[in-house]
Amino acid sequence: MASERLSVVVTRRLPEEIEARMAELFDVTLNESDVPFSRAQLAEAMQRADVLVPTLNDRIDQALLAQAGERLRLIANYGAGVDHIDVATARQRGILVSNTPGVLSDDTADMAMALIIAVTRRLPEGQAIMQSGEWGGWSPMALLGGRISGRKLGILGMGRVGQALARRAKCFGMEIHYHNRRRLHPDIEAETGATYWESLDQMVSRVDVLSINCPHTPSTFHLMNARRLKLMKPDAVIINTSRGEVIDENALTRMLRAGELAGAGLDVFEHGTEANPRLRAMPNVVLLPHMGSATREARREMGEKVLLNIQTFADGHRPPDLVVPSLA
């Protein structure tokens, strides 16, 4: 493939320097409008391109992959998560899938920590008072939140992001607990000061803050269902910067309204951009528009990984960030 320029279609706007480099290396079609591709546009791109560069908004399922042309051989996803791509079907059709792991961990962990502080210290409520012009001055009992130091933080999913969050929370004096598919190496536990719980039920019933940091897979869909949410302490808060589908959002909303949970900080939602409207009216809930990885540095580094994956593939080698179906 090195003898000719690959045809590459990018579904959304990327950092300017990444787009410029792509134009130098490949026969690239960019999305100048930045309007998300329709399903028909995705199908058309997959019929004519050698490489497709989608984002998490582009759902590439079995039916869409069935329409792919013979040229399509690589889906170089711009993002770490690939739950929007049917990786197994792609590989069955001879289409490789790559992603951009490792560059979002610190930024997402920063946002998780920010949400923990925002919810427990009631920052949005304070901002709302200031913006309304109704602040009457300092009062000893106004807007009392909770101290972070000494609280038990439970991390559901102790991968790169979970470990980065653990290091940050440890600096704030929090007590770290985690549940994972596999127990971490003792050195990592020692570094983060983390205690492993084999039973998720037992962990969630004991922590003061629960942070969701696991991917969305069939086994994690509604992992935090109504039964498990009810195990949490009434004064506990839940944070999600991973995937909305991990939490039963309706059950969470009911519990927050009933005062069975103290608060929530959500950067992702079960139904994409459609957050439960009842959540917006709750003063103890902080909602963000999927900002966890939204830094200039992360977006640039994601683009650099996409470039490396495509160029390595063009040179006839295995992309360094190849996604294995069984682990997708």
- 152 and 276 fall within a common domain: yes
Write the burial class of residue 34 (CB in 10 Å: 0-12 exposed, 13-18 middle, 19+ buried). exposed
Structural domain of 81: 7-103+295-327
Query: Quick check: 149 and 209 in contact, CB under 8 A?
Result: no
**Residues 245 and 123 reside in one and the same domain:** yes
Residues 305 and 262 in one domain: no
My answer on whether 272 and 191 are in the same domain is: yes
Most distant CA pair in the chain, distance: 73
Strand order in the sheet with 209-212: 194-196, 175-179, 152-156, 209-212, 237-240, 263-266, 285-287
| Nearest in space to 77 (alpha carbons), one of 318, 269, 303 | 303
Cα-based angle 55, 181, 79 (whole degrees, multiple of 5): 10
Rounded distance between C-alpha atoms, residue 78 and residue 220, angstroms: 22
Angle between helical axes of 160-171 and 105-120 (0-180°, round to 10): 50
Number of domains, the chain: 2
Say yes or no: 270 and 159 in one domain: yes
Is 159 found in the same domain as 122? yes
How do the pLDDT tens digits run along the chain, 328 residues long? 445 899 999 999 999 999 999 999 999 999 999 999 999 999 999 999 999 999 999 999 999 999 999 999 999 999 999 999 999 999 999 999 999 999 999 999 999 999 999 999 999 999 999 999 999 999 999 999 999 999 999 999 999 999 999 999 999 999 999 999 999 999 999 999 999 999 999 999 999 999 999 998 899 999 999 999 999 999 999 999 999 999 999 999 999 999 999 999 999 999 988 899 999 999 999 999 999 999 999 999 999 999 999 999 999 999 999 998 754 4
Please report, as a single letter, which amino acid is at residue 202. Q
3-state class (DSSP) for residue 247: strand
79: CATH: 3.40.50.720
Phi, psi values for residue 208, rounded to 5° = -95, -30
Same domain, 175 and 199: yes
Long-range contacts of 40-46, Cβ-Cβ distance < 8 Å, separation of 24 or more: 42/11, 43/67, 45/9, 45/11, 46/72
Q: Classify each residue of 202-239 as buried b or exposed e, where b means 16 or more C-beta atoms within 10 Å of its C-beta.
A: ebbeebbbbbbbbbbeeebeebbeeebbeebbeebbbb
Interatomic CA distance for residues 278 and 103, integer angstroms? 34
Q: Is residue 1 included in any domain, yes or no?
A: no
Place of tokens 């650099």: 304
On whether both 191 and 312 belong to a single domain, the answer is: no
Same domain, 95 and 223: no
Residue 2 lies in a domain: no
CA distances from 6 to 23, 47, 95, 98, 312 (A): 11, 14, 15, 16, 12
Q: 241 and 316: one domain? A: no
Structure tokens at 6: 């690959």
> 85 in a domain, yes or no?
yes
If DSSP codes are grouped into helix, strand and coil, which group holds residue 21?
Answer: helix
* Spacing of C-alpha 19 from chain mean position: 23
- CA neighbours closer than 13 Å in the CB half-sphere of residue 78: 24
Q: Does 86 lie in the same domain as 56?
A: yes
CB 236 within 8 A of CB 208: yes
